[in-house]
Structure formats: structure tokens, C-alpha cells
């Protein structure tokens, strides 16, 4: 079953171009998103909603965090994102006209499922309390739930009002790779559909996004071609105990995802920071034993990131930079630079850069000799809290 691959994780990393093709299939045309792929009631629901609230765990939560940046920046839709285990115990205020989105590969994650059940219970009890006129609780209206899931027959798909399936295929490795990529594709389709229905984006933007998504399998393929360079860089981690991942904007959650993957499969302690936070504490950690991995797309924040990286360099940190061919972070020999992507847009960039970080954590784990597909203490599906 593994074919030429040593591990499921490696196989699943290389299946991503196909997973994207399969997830897009039947959901877009050359120029447009098909809103109906979110269900027959999608158009009516999207028309009414005023805000999004995303709830998930682990890697699926990171997909939600990327979507928050997209939702507000590109589509001008207010969006909150939360870890399910926090949401369910903090007695949240729920506002009218909110679309609650749960994201899960397995559809069985206990905390995500409990959060969804809680939202439904609140909707139910608040409207009956209001009807009975016993309290001052205002009536809740316009609450809908949608789940983005990779398993058609699962607890989450049974509970949610609307379901959108990612077509990543079975994911065996405990570390989530292709599921994450297809979750981001699903979120891009969802936001574009909402933006289209609510007219917060012009048609030209919808065309651009669909064109970009159609190019994504190819962009991922190109990213995968950098594997040998990443194998060489992975050597840097042979004797390291810690690593710091930096990004800005959507690359901040991608840095978080890169750090999670490295922790999970190589047992190296890794943290992610938004690069602008360096001065507020983590800069104190930097020395020659701390590799710093930065993601540097060609965007409005590049110049700011460059100066953050010079600060790291000045403290003796070892820099590993994944950048756009035109980003030109540094020709300094203290920087290990992978010129990995070009022509990526705001939606496709985080998805593409993440592929490089997946390969990095995989090859570091190989060097460390850990059990890549079954890391210690972890389960593929977390069905207990
Ligand atoms: O099945 P889910 O997407 O709900 O799982 C959530 C997390 O347990 C999962 O993403 C976990 O963080 C992965 N092992 C990370 O690679």
C-alpha cells in the first residue's frame, strides 16, 4: 500500500495535488464557485449570516486561523476562531446570525463534537425560553452550523445542519497533512461562496480565486520538488532540542502548523510566533542552538519580516527561510534560503508554503529516528477529552 514511500505521512504529503483536485471537483467551474455544493439551503443561510465562528482542534484549528485572516481581509466578514475545548467550557455569548463552522478530519473529535452539540442546545433552549417568556433572554435567531469533514459518515456530519466533505481520502498518518490542505481549500470555497452571496466581493475577485485554486495542484507539485533541498536543511536539526517558527499574516498560523508538526513527529520543542512579537520576549531565546524557520512570501509584510530576521541574525540565530523567488531575504551565508514558490496568491500562498514545512518535519523526524506515522502518546482520532 505504501508503494515507493517509507511512511504513510510521506505518501499522504505526495497525494496532496490529487486531494486538492478531488476536493475541487464539482465545486467550481472555470470562473465561479458553486454555492450549492454547501447544500440546498446554503444560499438562504449565507444571505442572512453576519459573522463566522470557527471551532476545531489541533491542525484543523490552524486551518480555521488561516481562514480568519482570509475572511476579514479579503471577504470583509467578521470571523472568530476558537479551540473547541476552550469554547465548550467558557460559557460564550452567542450572537444572532452567526454561522458556526466546525472543522475536523475524523469527524469524531470529542471536544469539537461537544462544542457543536452545545451550540445546538443553546439555540434550542434560548428559543424555547423566549417562547415561554420566562426570562429576559433574547431570542436567538439565524444560528446555523456547518461542518467541514473528511469522513462522510461521522458524528460531526450527523450533527451539523450543513456538511461539506473534503475529499482527501483516508489519512492514516497521525500527523495531519492532506486533510489540512483540503480543509483550507474547503474554507476558501466557503468564504468565496459567502462573499458572492452577500456581495462583499466583486465577480472579478471570484474569478481570480477560482483560477488560483485551479492552479493549486500544480503549485503544490512544484513545492514538492524542493524535497532534496529540505533533506539537506533537515541536517541542521540533528543535534537540536528547540526551534522557533516565524510568520506574519496567514503565515503565522502556517508557522503554528509547522511547529505542531515538528513537535508531534520529531519531539523537538517548537514554538511559533508572529514575527512582530519577537521583541516582546522570544528574542531572549535566540542563540546558535535555536534554529529559526521563517516563511517569507512576497507580500506587504515582507520588509517588516526582513527587519525581524536581521534581529535574529544579530543574536547568532540560525535562519532557515522559505521564500518567494523574488522575496530576496538575504544573500548572507548565515541564512539557509529555499526559494520555493512564485506566483502564489493570497489564498494559495499559505497552502503552498505549508507543504515545505510538512517535508521539513518529516525529514527531521527521519533523522531523529522517531515513529513518524505513530508518534508516542498520540492517537489519530481523539474521541475522549
Ligand atoms: O480529526 P480532527 O481534525 O478533529 O483532529 C484534530 C486534531 O486532533 C488533529 O488535527 C491533530 O492535531 C493532528 N494529529 C495534528 O497533526
pLDDT tens string 347-359: 999 999 999 999 9
Of the candidates 328, 336, 324, 274, the one whose C-alpha atom is nearest the C-alpha of residue 297 is 324
Contact between 294 and 275 (Cβ < 8 Å): yes
Calculate how far, in angstroms, residue 341's C-alpha sits from the geometric centre of ligand 1.
27
For residues 84 and 68, what is the distance between their CA atoms, to the nearest angstrom?
Answer: 16
Section 273-288 average pLDDT: 90
For ligand 1, mutation pick of 7, 12, 58 (most atoms within 8 Å of CB): 58
Calculate how far, in angstroms, residue 304's C-alpha sits from the geometric centre of ligand 1.
32
Strands (E) located in the chain: 51-56, 79-83, 98-104, 144-149, 162-165, 242-247, 269-274, 291-296, 318-324, 335-341
CA distances from 145 to 34, 116, 142, 157 (A): 19, 8, 10, 10
Residue 331 has pLDDT above 80, yes or no: no
Ligand 1 pocket, residues with Cβ under 6 angstroms: 57-60, 104-106, 109, 112, 174-176, 260, 264, 381-382
Grid cell of 37 as nine digits:
455544493
Candidate ranges 120-124, 167-171, 301-305; pick with highest mean pLDDT: 167-171
Residue 135: per-residue pLDDT: 65
Section 158-176 average pLDDT: 96
Calculate how far, in angstroms, residue 256's C-alpha sits from the geometric centre of ligand 1.
13
Name the pairing type of β-strands 335-341 and 318-324.
parallel
- Label residue 182 by pLDDT band (50, 70, 90): very high
The CB-side HSE value for 227 (13 A sphere, CA atoms) comes to: 10
CA distances from 244 to 312, 367, 375 (A): 11, 19, 21
- Label residue 381 by pLDDT band (50, 70, 90): confident
Sign of the dihedral defined by the CA atoms of residues 90, 184, 13, 358, in that order: negative
Of the candidates 66, 43, 45, the one whose C-alpha atom is nearest the C-alpha of residue 56 is 66
Interhelix angle 348-368/251-266, nearest 10 degrees = 20
Q: Residue whose CA is closest, atom 9 of ligand 1? A: 58
3 state DSSP class of 147: strand
210 compared with 301, residue with greater pLDDT: 210
**Rg for the chain, CA atoms, rounded:** 21
For residues 315 and 244, what is the distance between their CA atoms, to the nearest angstrom?
Answer: 14
Residue 198 is a catalytic residue = no
For residues 183 and 179, what is the distance between their CA atoms, to the nearest angstrom?
Answer: 6
ipTM: 0.98
Helices (H) and strands (E) in the chain, counts: 13, 10
For residues 141 and 229, what is the distance between their CA atoms, to the nearest angstrom?
Answer: 53
Residue 117: per-residue pLDDT: 96
Residue 188 has pLDDT above 80, yes or no: yes
Section 121-141 average pLDDT: 75
Residue 137: per-residue pLDDT: 66
At residue 13, φ and ψ (nearest 5 deg) are -60, -40
- Label residue 48 by pLDDT band (50, 70, 90): very high
Residue 334: per-residue pLDDT: 72
For residues 102 and 98, what is the distance between their CA atoms, to the nearest angstrom?
Answer: 13
363 compared with 283, residue with greater pLDDT: 363
Residue 2 has pLDDT above 80, yes or no: yes
- Ligand 1 atom nearest 382 alpha carbon: 8
Q: Residue whose CA is closest, atom 16 of ligand 1? A: 175
Residue 56 has pLDDT above 90, yes or no: yes
Grid cell of 232 as nine digits:
539537506
Residues 6+ apart with CB under 8 A from 280: none
Amino acid at each position: 500500500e505504501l508503494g515507493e514511500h517509507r511512511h504513510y505521512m510521506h505518501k499522504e504529503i505526495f497525494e496532496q495535488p490529487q486531494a486538492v483536485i478531488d476536493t475541487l471537483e464539482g465545486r467550481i467551474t472555470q470562473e465561479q464557485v458553486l454555492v450549492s455544493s454547501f447544500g440546498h439551503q446554503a444560499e438562504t443561510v449565507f444571505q442572512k449570516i453576519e459573522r463566522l465562528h470557527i471551532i476545531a482542534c489541533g491542525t484543523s484549528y490552524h486551518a480555521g486561523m488561516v481562514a480568519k485572516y482570509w475572511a476579514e481581509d479579503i471577504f470583509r466578514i467578521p470571523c472568530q476562531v476558537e479551540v473547541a475545548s476552550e469554547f465548550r467550557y467558557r460559557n460564550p455569548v452567542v450572537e444572532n446570525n452567526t454561522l458556526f463552522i466546525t472543522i475536523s478530519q475524523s469527524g469524531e473529535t470529542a471536544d469539537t463534537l461537544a462544542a457543536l452539540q452545545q451550540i445546538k442546545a443553546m439555540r434550542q433552549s434560548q428559543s424555547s425560553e423566549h417562547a415561554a417568556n420566562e426570562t429576559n433572554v433574547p431570542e436567538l435567531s439565524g444560528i446555523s452550523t456547518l461542518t467541514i469533514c473528511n469522513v462522510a459518515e461521522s458524528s460531526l456530519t450527523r450533527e451539523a445542519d450543513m456538511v461539506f466533505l473534503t475529499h482527501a481520502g483516508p489519512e492514516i498518518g497521525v500527523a495531519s497533512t492532506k486533510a489540512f490542505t483540503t480543509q483550507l481549500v474547503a474554507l476558501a470555497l466557503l468564504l468565496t461562496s459567502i462573499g458572492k452571496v452577500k456581495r462583499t466581493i466583486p465577480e472579478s475577485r471570484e474569478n481570480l480565486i477560482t483560477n488560483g485554486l485551479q492552479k493549486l495542484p500544480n503549485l503544490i507539485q512544484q513545492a514538492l520538488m524542493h524535497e532534496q533541498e529540505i533533506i539537506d536543511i533537515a541536517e541542521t536539526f540533528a543535534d537540536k532540542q528547540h526551534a522557533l517558527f516565524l510568520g506574519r499574516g496567514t503565515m503565522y498560523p502556517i508557522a503554528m502548523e509547522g511547529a505542531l508538526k515538528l513537535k508531534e513527529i520529531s519531539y523537538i520543542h517548537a514554538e511559533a510566533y508572529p514575527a512582530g512579537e519577537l521583541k516582546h520576549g522570544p528574542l531572549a531565546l535566540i542563540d546558535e542552538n535555536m534554529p529559526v524557520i521563517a516563511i517569507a512570501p512576497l507580500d506587504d509584510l515582507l520588509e517588516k519580516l526582513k527587519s525581524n530576521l536581521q534581529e535574529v541574525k544579530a543574536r547568532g540565530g540560525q535562519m532557515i527561510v522559505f521564500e518567494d523567488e523574488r522575496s530576496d531575504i538575504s544573500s548572507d551565508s548565515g541564512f539557509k534560503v529555499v526559494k520555493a514558490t512564485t506566483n502564489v496568491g493570497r489564498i494559495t500562498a499559505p497552502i503552498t508554503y505549508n507543504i515545505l514545512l510538512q517535508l521539513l518535519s518529516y525529514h527531521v523526524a527521519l533523522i531523529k529516528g522517531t515513529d513518524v506515522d505513530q508518534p508516542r502518546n498520540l492517537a489519530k482520532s481523539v474521541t475522549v477529552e
